[in-house]
Amino acid sequence: MIKPKRLKKGDKIAIVSLSWGGLGDAKLIHKYDIAKERLECDFGLNVVAMPHALKGSEFVYAHPELRAKDLMDAFSDPSIKGIFCAIGGDDSVRLLPYIDYKIIRNNPKIFMGYSDTTVTHFMMNKAGVVSYYGPSVMAEFGEYVQMFDYTEKSVKSLLFEDSNGYKITSCEYWSDDHVSWSEENVNVKKKTRPEEHHYEVLSGRGIITGELLGGCLDVFPMIVGTEVWPKRNEWKDKILLVETSEEKPSPDLITYYLRNLGAQGILNRIRGIVVGKPQDEQFYEEYKEVYRSILNEFNCQSLPVIYNVNIGHAVPTGILPLGIECEINLDKKTISLLESATAEI
C-alpha cells in the first residue's frame, strides 16, 4: 500500500461532498464556516471547497458524476495535499462508474472520512493507497464550541507526525448528548460522561498483527459484489475494522451482516476484528453477544475481537489508518501502529 505524505502547516486541503450534500444547505453552511476556521487556525491548513461541495443537498444528490469529478480533480491537483469529507450519507456507491483508480494511485494524498465514506475507502484500497477512517468536516471539525481533544490529538498525531509505534488509546470519556445542528446552538457544548468499559476483548488472546481494512458495517451490503469489494483471498491476514452508524442497526441486522461475512469466507481468513463503540452505547451488550454467536456459527471462536474502540460514529472519534500494519495485544488490551501512518514530507 502506498502511503501519502503527511500534512504540514500551510498545506492546502480540499473539502468534498461525496454523499449527502447538506454542508451547503443554507441552514447548515455555518458548520462549514466553523470547520474552515478551525482547520486553518488550529491546524494551520489552507482550506478550499471543491466546486460542487457546497451546492446543497438537492444538487449533490442529483449529480453523482460531479461529486466524483470533485474527487478526481482533488487527487489530480498537485497543490492539494489532503482531501477531507464533508459528511457521510447513504449513496456514495453511485460514484463508482466515474472513478479512475489510476488517478488515485498516481497521486496519493491524505483522504479522510467515515460512515458512507466507507465506499471511498474501499476505492482507495482498490487503488492501493492508504486512507484514514476518521473525522468529518460537519460533525467533528465543525463541532460547536470546541473540538474534542481526543479527536484533535488523533488528527495531529496521525496526519502531521511520524506515528510509528503510536498507541491508539481508549478515550477517558464519551458522549451521548445530541445538540441539534442549528445556528442557535453554536454556543452549546456537548456534555460528556466517564468511560466505564474501555477496550473489551470478546474473544482471542495474545498478539496479532495485520493491515486494517473495513469501515461502517451498515455500508457493506451496498458494495458487496461491486468492483471495490475485495476478493476472498485479499482478506487473508487482514484485521477487519467494523463500526455501526447513527441508524443504530438492530442486533438482528448485525447478525445478518456478520453472517454474510462468514458465508463469504472472510471470517476464516482475517486475523482479527476491531469493533467501534456503538453510538450512544445503544445495543452495547447485545452486539457483543451477536459477535460471539456468529464466531461460534463459523467455528471461529478463537478469532481475536477487540470491542468499544473510539472510531466512526463513536463520540468522540479518532482515526484508524486503513492499509497500515498494526498490532493488537489482546492480553494488554492495546492497539499500536507498527509503522508510520504517513510518509515523510
Map out the domains of the chain as residue ranges. 12-159, 173-337
pLDDT digits 0-9 by tens, 167-221: 999 999 999 999 999 999 999 999 999 999 999 999 999 999 999 999 999 999 9
Q: Which top CATH class is 173-337?
A: alpha beta
Residue type, 84: F
How large is the average pLDDT for residues 83-107?
98
How far CA 112 is from CA of 39, 233, 272, in Å, comes to 14, 26, 23
Rounded CA separation 322/325 (Å)? 9
DSSP 47-107: EEE-TTTTS-HHHHHH-HHHHHHHHHHHHH-TTEEEEEES---S-GGGGGGG--HHHHHHS
Which pLDDT score, from 0 to 100, does residue 22 have?
98
pLDDT digits 0-9 by tens, 117-132: 999 999 999 999 999 9
Which pLDDT score, from 0 to 100, does residue 331 have?
97
C-alpha cell at 50: 471543491
Average predicted confidence (pLDDT) for the chain: 98
Residues in the chain: 345
Cα 308 → chain centroid = 15
Alpha-carbon torsion angle 123, 291, 151, 37, nearest 10: 50
Which pLDDT score, from 0 to 100, does residue 345 have?
83
Confidence of residue 112 (pLDDT cuts 50, 70, 90): very high
Residue with cell 450519507: 89
pTM (predicted TM-score):
0.98
Which pLDDT score, from 0 to 100, does residue 306 have?
98
Going by CATH, does the domain composed of 12-159 fall within 3.30.470.30?
A: no
How large is the average pLDDT for residues 72-81?
98
Which pLDDT score, from 0 to 100, does residue 187 have?
98
Which pLDDT score, from 0 to 100, does residue 170 have?
98
pLDDT digits 0-9 by tens, 217-255: 999 999 999 999 999 999 999 999 999 999 999 999 999
Residue 281: strand, helix, or coil: helix
Rounded CA separation 307/183 (Å)? 35
